[in-house]
Structure 1
Amino acid sequence: MKRKAEKQQPAAPISAIAARRAQQQQQQQQKIQVTVPISPTPDAESDGEPPSKKARPSPAEDRKRSNGRQGTAQKKSAVARIREKKSEKQPAKQIKSKPEVSEPPSGLDSAEEASSDEESEEYTGIASDEEEEDAALDGAGDDSYESASNLPEEVENFALSKTRLNKKNVVYGNESTLCVRIKEKMNLALVGQYDIWVKRGVVSLMGAKLHPSPNVYRVYAPATHSLPVIKCVSGINGYAEVELTSCHNGIYRLKDLSPLYQRVWNSKTETAADKVTLKGSSRRTFSVLYTSSDDPLKRHLRPLHLDKKWSATIKVLSQRGGGLRVFTCGPKASGKSTFNRYLLNHLLSPAPQTESGYINTDGVAFLDLDPGQPEFSPAGEIYLAHLRSPFFGPPFSHPTLEGSQNGTIVRSHHIGATSPKEDPDHYVLAAMDLMSHYHRLLATYPQCPLIINYPGWIFGLGLEVATWLIKSLGISDVVYMSERGPAEVVEPLGQAAREVMVPLTTLPSQPTDYVTRSSAQLRSMQMQSYFHLSQPDGLSNPIWSETPLIRNKSIFVNYAGPQQGILGVMVMGSLHNPDLLRDLLDGAVVAVVAVENPSAIASQPDNAETAGNLPAGVDNAEDETMFDERDEPNADPDSSVDDAASMTEPGPTPQLPSLESSIIRTAREDLPYLFVGAGCCTPLDPKASHSLGLAIVRAIHVSARKLELVTPIPTSKIRESLERGHGIILVRGQLDNPNWAISEEYYAARAAERRHHKLVAKVKKSKASGAAGPEAEYDLEKLSEVSETLRERVRRAGNVPWMTVVEDSGRKQGGTAHREKTMWKLRKKAYPGGDSETDW
């Protein structure tokens, strides 16, 4: 009887703090792993392949029981057993976690399409929620395009908000706006994107304390990261009042271009809070969630809570004011980026001067030395940023500060890889150059504190680099993000800190419980966001375009002849045969680097430095060689090369004398291969060069001697660099191939086809019922012709180089044939002649 009563009681939501404590006590417990049978496909991996990052076990040990149906010793909560009992007649739903992904189902029933709204639904109504999870989670092997979420079988019911909305605390609300009162010590968690305006009281959000002011802040709260929590710190009569407004900036439309952006934002389906504050269907771009079970898409959502030791350390560091120079390091996935984001927002909080006696008017400098997971730039770059306002969102919501009113990139260097271990010497030189520019920034902003973000490269040579930077950068504090050591790392860091007489603070790591995107997938999302983002004049926030890059206008640049626009092409890493340069460039991501001085070329003597010595200053040669502007205007991608050549401005571009001996022209294409060094291309000296941004080489027109580039770099920035006499060099590093760009047109075609199917379903339903409306005026014959056109577009979009579309129609679900699915298999090798066909 007791056991039966236990089954009848639903499990209460668990707080994130309680769950974390329970997880620490269950470190040795067996991880839960489940698999699903799928139909055989080419290059498919075995069912026993582990996920990209293992999910942690459920924290409530007393609510777990043996799973007899699975025949294993795995544990289940009481809620899971109740659900299982209710669905005994249904086939058990099993999920196979894979490191890379397949695309959602392509087949779409018209009746199902008509039941969803493409404009406001986060995931485009392809099927039911359970079918969407199956489609997103089906593995496609290591060489597939990209993978979606790695989700366990059961979703833990986590408490997200401490406030429930009712008529008393809802001031007003409509289809786009919600104004609520939050009691002191209470909080709200939201998923989606919104603008927040604090009207009364003081609230905290991701480390920032927001006071009543006219300022409106943009918040991005995707399901890929822990959800930010709005907490009332103090208020009038015990309440704070905030207004939340929907924002339409186009980033949610990126789901039509990549499956990685699907199931990221809030769903169309109303939550419990929406039913209280809305009448009719929801149109907001955000949703208030009380617990994780309120999520209609049943994702693993967690609140973003701060550890008490983190809060105490942030408070101590912020009291240093303008003298703060903090160096944050630690193992991978230990929470370094989250800690730095909290500290950054806390320092940038627009608090009244009477609160602490100190007000930040000079902003905060952010020295990001992590090329793998940068905060304000795409992968492969390290940079120095000057920030003036808090940022609320993951890195892919602000992949660049170009044109932003909240901050600027002071200087950036292209590392050419996601890890500094590829070239530690160049990495240290670049870091020292960025630090020298921070000291120049202090001349204008003397009270500007500095946050240094070091990557998870903390063992071996990475530890030597970290200790050397601690001794050389003139920092005030060292923060290490792990209380578990290891001792062979903490002791050298402590010794280096003692030598320069600065404190070393050790904080507990705060990793994410469930990882829905791997590091490679997050880089792809950030890179795709970077190339689709723009900052129009007059707008305070950026917007994203859902147009595939293949349909964007390109920039045509001469690489040979009297009107040459680039000085050369450099390939970082090992030595490559010049005959392979075209294969290395075609379809690759390259950095657009400005050469400020001829001394940037490593062939100059005494220019090479090592990580063990301070970088010697590069002589500022008086060579004022000027380069004529070679900024090509945007051209129609369908225009001929001859038409593009006619837009080239007259005037030759002289080459640097020091480059002539280092350039090798390829025999067939006449490409300028800039080769310097012995056995490999030595990077440019950071003292005399800097990165302007990234570009994708869309095509190489050999007959016209032109490169066709797609880049979000403003033409004004390139023009300004040329007016200063800088030369432009393209640098091909070892970054991931832009697989997402290759498949964008296909996904866009499929999305257009789905929208058309939904329209056809509405028209058929309207004509069958005889109801009057706009759908009844459509001609079904013309709609059928459009369907054929869209089907042909999908076929042509799938027939592109380096990509193979594999149809999987043999999967069974519940005794019936599953809809036809599409999986991406990319065949382009990362480097010609390499053994691997993947770039992960």
Structure 2
Amino acid sequence: MKRKADKPQAAAPVSAFAARKARQQQAQSAAAAVEKPVAFEPAGEPPSKKARRSPEEATAGEQERTQPRRSTRRKDVDPVEQPAEEARRVTRSHKAPQPKAQDIAPSTEEHASSDAESEAENAAVEEANGVGFTPLQGDDDEYESPADTPVQMQDFPLSKTRLNKNNVVYSDEHRLCVRIKEKMSLVFIGHYDLWVKRGVVSLMGAKLHPSSRVYRVYAPSTHSLPVIKCVSGVDGAAEVEVKSCHSGIYRLRHLSPLYERVWNSKNTAADKLTLKNVSPSTKRTFSVLYTSADDSLKRHLRPLHLEKQWSSAIKSLSQRGGRLRALICGPKGSGKSTFSRYLLNHLLSPAPQTETSHRNTDGVAFLDLDPGQPEFSPMGQVYLAHLRSPVFGPPFSHPSLDDSRNGTIVRAHHIGANSPKEDPDHYVLAAKDLMDRYRSLLADYPQCPLIINYPGWIFGLGLEVATYLVSSLGLSDVVYMSDKGPAEVIEPLGQAASQAKVPLTILPSQPTDFVSRSSAQLRSMQMQSYFHMTHPSDMETPLWHGQPLARTQPFQVHYSGPNQDIQGIMVMGSQIHPDLLSEVLEGSIVAIVAVESSNALLGSTSTPDSTTTTPAVAVDAASDIIMADDDDHTNRPQPATTDLSSNIARTPESLPYLFAGSGSSNPFDPRKSHSLGLALVRSIDPASHTIDLATPIPSSRIQRARQHGHALVLVRGLLDNPNWAISEDYYAARSEQKRYRDSLEKLAKRNTSKAVVDAEEARRQQRVAEMLKDRVRRASTNVPWMTVIEDHRNRQADGAAGTQREKGLWKLRKQAYAGSGSEGEGDW
């Protein structure tokens, strides 16, 4: 008779915390077995050169070289693929510097394995035939890289609730209503509308009570999945309805491979249980997951859970109510954005007054000082937002707030880079101006708390800026997101907080070991989402269009002549020759900045008294647009227009080049200017003196700025190149070709009874196929760094290898000490 302990047991799913701890212990033991740690080197730093071997080791190595080696080449390599296989083997053995993660676009192998698995995902998912990205070298990101070592894909538990006929209230092809018992949870992947009908549930820090309000939730595989947990219920259970939504964000997968394999794929076992009475091909925009093994695409899915210390800190901070002024800071990758989002949602929870002494009716102010990873804005900006509703989703699901129900942007300033280290003085001035705007906001919303999200620039000069903000912004709390120090950061930060009489809370970081997108890729996704998102006036939620920007109607502005709209064009950074301005500007991302005063340039000696004929013309042009629907505009006084002509030089194309400074251009004073948003310069026409812009900025916002007499200036910063915009037409052509092929295959299956296809119909299909193929070929010529591969067998064979790099996982390596180079980082 076997004892109970001797019985073989199935491997149970392990939590994310246990798996991360086990991997860390395994990595530490492996490192200790390979080499002895050097006393004077920081942990994790590789030696500067190879260690000298002992005579015994040298002899053993010589014997090893004389022994015949066993071939590791795959035996099933096709002769046609042998040159490519040899090239890959040579590349792997080459000792060149490893390319950095934020500059590596999805590799050819990643596309192959990705699309091979996503054939069953949706009919419109593109096939992986023909694109290879050339990785860029020499970036300074030392914190994330492709996962070279194989990662064990473990079965992580996601939902504690198992669906059955007892807890499924009703279901159809669009909706699913379930009962969740107290302390039980349910996880969905995809995007959906959530309606709490009975009981109280928690979601991403918010406690949602029964009401008629419907919340839009975005749960992509690129981030940890939000967990719906029952806090309290009626008869011990809460009742929620989850409904499919069609915002159009899934259309972005036709424009970029970064959006592939992001949402739900095939129906899971739980989905099939609740879709018994409908067509087998029916699929909702969400899927229920019990464990990560339920995912048909086998992605690296994890639930979004919080440390207990995080939860207690959020509850403690929320007790301050309207008096809360919290600065969240810490190293890169420590969870600052996640903690800020949870705290924000917790403060915005529509909880009854009996549950807490504070009932939030004035919203929450969110001061985002992280231009590299903003929450409600595109890259390169710092801003003050006023939120009135919880937000459930990653940043690329809400890249802007345009007077929506969720909130609005009170004021924004264009930094022009992903890092404030480019101009710390201008960064501090912008932060102080936004804090002044918050104090003005308190006049209308006196019980509005404030959350300040500080970037991971916490070492060196960044620490000095942080301590200055702690001592000058009038805070109530400072939260540092790393219990491992270092001491050279904790001590000055604690001293500044003590002098300002502000408590300092130190919390453990909660990083993610592996992610499916690098920082640069997430920035591209957020920027692409920003330019494709619209806010219809008759809808509460945004929509996304799937048309390439090159095929949309441009926003045309005049930069010279009698109808001049743009008063100046500025290039941040080094001074350039005026003859090169058009080349620098065309195809770049620019900010549309509204300049409120003639002496807005920092260090400029220009005065409001300087005159020119240009402002008067601009006033007339503005008044024609603004007062078009005003019946009594004849007696309206014309606003004074800002004059910037003293610092403008005309280029050969008559572009108004705005430059003031020595070596680099002086930025605008944040107290006398603000950013309206970003635009993509599509083309410049010197003949008509016009610039075609692609921008999601509402025309009403631009008209409002011109009505106040503000000068509009295009500012070209140091943001990432919009490679995603240049390649959109190519991916759209591939997607169209893929959809047409799929339609022909479906038609052929339905017409199996016909032995002969009509000749005329066959010729028509051939013409359409050739036309689509030619469109793909012509679109590929516009993207020089993409290589069209005609023989797809190499990529398919590579994707079958199944390494973690080919599966698209990125390994995060966080270093929190002063000598790690964090001060020079552009990604936080």
* Rounded Cα–Cα distance in structure 1 between residues aligned with 2:89 and 2:588: 25
2:619–2:640 contact (8 Å) kept in structure 1: no
Q: What aligned pairs does 1:508-587 form with structure 2 within 5 A after superposition?
A: 508-587=508-587
In the alignment, is residue 599 of structure 1 matched against residue 599 of structure 2?
yes
1:148–1:260 contact (8 Å) kept in structure 2: no
Q: How many Å apart are 1:671 and its aligned residue?
A: 1.1
In the alignment, is residue 218 of structure 1 matched against residue 201 of structure 2?
no
* Rounded Cα–Cα distance in structure 2 between residues aligned with 1:573 and 1:114: 43
In the alignment, is residue 787 of structure 1 matched against residue 769 of structure 2?
yes
Q: How many Å apart are 1:657 and its aligned residue?
A: 7.7
Q: Which consecutive unaligned segments of at least 5 residues does structure 1 have? A: 55-96, 608-618, 635-652, 824-838
Q: How many Å apart are 1:587 and its aligned residue?
A: 0.1
Q: For residues 748-790 of structure 1, what are the alpha-carbon distances to aligned partners after superposition, in whole Å with 9 as ceiling and x for unaligned?
A: 0000000000111122222223499xx9999332222111111
* Rounded Cα–Cα distance in structure 1 between residues aligned with 2:690 and 2:341: 42
2:267–2:283 contact (8 Å) kept in structure 1: no
Q: For residues 384-416 of structure 1, what are the alpha-carbon distances to aligned partners after superposition, in whole Å with 9 as ceiling and x for unaligned?
A: 000000000000000000141110000000000
* Rounded Cα–Cα distance in structure 1 between residues aligned with 2:430 and 2:799: 56
Q: For residues 576-626 of structure 1, what are the alpha-carbon distances to aligned partners after superposition, in whole Å with 9 as ceiling and x for unaligned?
A: 121211111010000000001112123435x9xxxxxxxxxxx99999977
In the alignment, is residue 707 of structure 1 matched against residue 691 of structure 2?
yes
* Rounded Cα–Cα distance in structure 2 between residues aligned with 1:378 and 1:487: 34
Q: Residue 395 of structure 1 corresponds to which residue in structure 2?
A: 395
Q: Residue 665 of structure 1 corresponds to which residue in structure 2?
A: 650
Higher relative contact order, chain-length normalized (CA < 8 Å, sep 6+): 2
Quick one: which amino acid aligns to residue 796 of structure 1?
R
* Rounded Cα–Cα distance in structure 2 between residues aligned with 1:149 and 1:631: 51
Q: Residue 178 of structure 2 corresponds to which residue in structure 1?
A: 180
1:45–1:142 contact (8 Å) kept in structure 2: no
Q: For residues 172-206 of structure 1, what are the alpha-carbon distances to aligned partners after superposition, in whole Å with 9 as ceiling and x for unaligned?
A: 11111000000111101111001100000000000
The worse-fitting range, judged by mean Cα deviation, of 675-684 and 810-819 is 810-819
Q: How many Å apart are 1:814 and its aligned residue?
A: 8.7
Q: Residue 101 of structure 1 corresponds to which residue in structure 2?
A: 107
Secondary structure of 2:28's counterpart equals coil
Q: How many Å apart are 1:231 and its aligned residue?
A: 0.3
Quick one: which amino acid aligns to residue 215 of structure 1?
R
* Rounded Cα–Cα distance in structure 2 between residues aligned with 1:450 and 1:603: 32
Q: For residues 15-60 of structure 1, what are the alpha-carbon distances to aligned partners after superposition, in whole Å with 9 as ceiling and x for unaligned?
A: 223334435544524599x999965789996467768569xxxxxx
Quick one: which amino acid aligns to residue 14 of structure 2?
I
Which of residues 269, 273, 276 in structure 2 aligns to 1:272?
Answer: 269
Quick one: which amino acid aligns to residue 384 of structure 1?
L
* Rounded Cα–Cα distance in structure 1 between residues aligned with 2:260 and 2:118: 19
Secondary structure of 1:303's counterpart equals coil
* Rounded Cα–Cα distance in structure 2 between residues aligned with 1:591 and 1:476: 33
Which of residues 141, 150, 154 in structure 1 aligns to 2:135?
Answer: 141
Q: Residue 691 of structure 1 corresponds to which residue in structure 2?
A: 675
Secondary structure of 1:218's counterpart equals strand
Percent identity, aligned pairs only, is 58
Q: How many Å apart are 1:815 and its aligned residue?
A: 7.6
Q: Residue 257 of structure 1 corresponds to which residue in structure 2?
A: 255
* Rounded Cα–Cα distance in structure 1 between residues aligned with 2:117 and 2:221: 24
1:220–1:392 contact (8 Å) kept in structure 2: yes
The worse-fitting range, judged by mean Cα deviation, of 585-594 and 753-762 is 753-762
* Rounded Cα–Cα distance in structure 2 between residues aligned with 1:35 and 1:401: 54
Q: Residue 163 of structure 2 corresponds to which residue in structure 1?
A: 165
Q: For residues 289-318 of structure 1, what are the alpha-carbon distances to aligned partners after superposition, in whole Å with 9 as ceiling and x for unaligned?
A: 111111100001000001000000000000
2:412–2:674 contact (8 Å) kept in structure 1: yes
2:118–2:261 contact (8 Å) kept in structure 1: no
Q: Residue 468 of structure 1 corresponds to which residue in structure 2?
A: 468
1:203–1:211 contact (8 Å) kept in structure 2: yes
Q: For residues 77-112 of structure 1, what are the alpha-carbon distances to aligned partners after superposition, in whole Å with 9 as ceiling and x for unaligned?
A: xxxxxxxxxxxxxxxxxxxx9665348769999xx9
1:204–1:231 contact (8 Å) kept in structure 2: yes
Which of residues 197, 200, 204 in structure 2 aligns to 1:199?
Answer: 197
* CA 1:505–1:660: 2 relative to 1, 3 Å: same
* CA 1:113–1:186: 2 relative to 1, 3 Å: closer
Q: What aligned pairs does 1:606-755 form with structure 2 within 5 A after superposition?
A: 627-628=618-619, 630=621, 659-666=644-651, 668-755=652-739
* Rounded Cα–Cα distance in structure 2 between residues aligned with 1:154 and 1:24: 13
* Rounded Cα–Cα distance in structure 1 between residues aligned with 2:6 and 2:113: 43
Q: For residues 348-396 of structure 1, what are the alpha-carbon distances to aligned partners after superposition, in whole Å with 9 as ceiling and x for unaligned?
A: 0000111113210000000000000000000000000000000000000
* Rounded Cα–Cα distance in structure 1 between residues aligned with 2:328 and 2:717: 26
Quick one: which amino acid aligns to residue 568 of structure 2?
G
Q: How many Å apart are 1:806 and its aligned residue?
A: 3.8
Q: Residue 78 of structure 1 corresponds to which residue in structure 2?
A: none
Quick one: which amino acid aligns to residue 628 of structure 1?
V
Q: How many Å apart are 1:456 and its aligned residue?
A: 0.2
* CA 1:716–1:526: 2 relative to 1, 3 Å: same
Q: How many Å apart are 1:575 and its aligned residue?
A: 1.4
* CA 1:707–1:622: 2 relative to 1, 3 Å: closer
Q: What aligned pairs does 1:814-825 form with structure 2 within 5 A after superposition?
A: none
Secondary structure of 2:739's counterpart equals helix
1:44–1:141 contact (8 Å) kept in structure 2: no
* Rounded Cα–Cα distance in structure 2 between residues aligned with 1:787 and 1:357: 66
Quick one: which amino acid aligns to residue 261 of structure 1?
Y
Quick one: which amino acid aligns to residue 248 of structure 1?
H
* Rounded Cα–Cα distance in structure 2 between residues aligned with 1:169 and 1:621: 73
Q: How many Å apart are 1:791 and its aligned residue?
A: 0.8
What is the TM-score of this pair, normalised by structure 2?
0.81
* CA 1:45–1:320: 2 relative to 1, 3 Å: farther
Q: Residue 368 of structure 2 corresponds to which residue in structure 1?
A: 368
Q: For residues 312-332 of structure 1, what are the alpha-carbon distances to aligned partners after superposition, in whole Å with 9 as ceiling and x for unaligned?
A: 000000000000000000000
Quick one: which amino acid aligns to residue 101 of structure 1?
S
Q: Residue 828 of structure 1 corresponds to which residue in structure 2?
A: none
**Cα RMSD (Å) of the superposition?**
3.9
* Rounded Cα–Cα distance in structure 2 between residues aligned with 1:496 and 1:288: 48
Quick one: which amino acid aligns to residue 202 of structure 1?
V
* CA 1:558–1:812: 2 relative to 1, 3 Å: closer
* Rounded Cα–Cα distance in structure 1 between residues aligned with 2:682 and 2:703: 21
Secondary structure of 1:355's counterpart equals coil
Secondary structure of 1:14's counterpart equals coil
1:45–1:141 contact (8 Å) kept in structure 2: no
2:109–2:798 contact (8 Å) kept in structure 1: no
1:274–1:282 contact (8 Å) kept in structure 2: no
Q: Residue 377 of structure 1 corresponds to which residue in structure 2?
A: 377
Secondary structure of 1:748's counterpart equals helix
Q: Residue 441 of structure 1 corresponds to which residue in structure 2?
A: 441
1:594–1:728 contact (8 Å) kept in structure 2: yes
Q: Which consecutive unaligned segments of at least 5 residues does structure 2 have? A: 35-71, 75-81, 626-637, 807-825
1:103–1:259 contact (8 Å) kept in structure 2: no
* Rounded Cα–Cα distance in structure 1 between residues aligned with 2:709 and 2:472: 32
Quick one: which amino acid aligns to residue 184 of structure 1?
E
1:102–1:140 contact (8 Å) kept in structure 2: no
Quick one: which amino acid aligns to residue 774 of structure 2?
E
Which of residues 156, 170, 190 in structure 1 aligns to 2:188?
Answer: 190
Q: Residue 748 of structure 2 corresponds to which residue in structure 1?
A: 764
* CA 1:356–1:817: 2 relative to 1, 3 Å: closer
Q: Residue 338 of structure 1 corresponds to which residue in structure 2?
A: 338
Q: How many Å apart are 1:812 and its aligned residue?
A: 4.0
In the alignment, is residue 459 of structure 1 matched against residue 459 of structure 2?
yes
Secondary structure of 1:786's counterpart equals helix
Which of residues 789, 796, 805 in structure 2 aligns to 1:807?
Answer: 789
* Rounded Cα–Cα distance in structure 1 between residues aligned with 2:583 and 2:543: 33
Secondary structure of 1:243's counterpart equals strand
* Rounded Cα–Cα distance in structure 2 between residues aligned with 1:418 and 1:43: 36
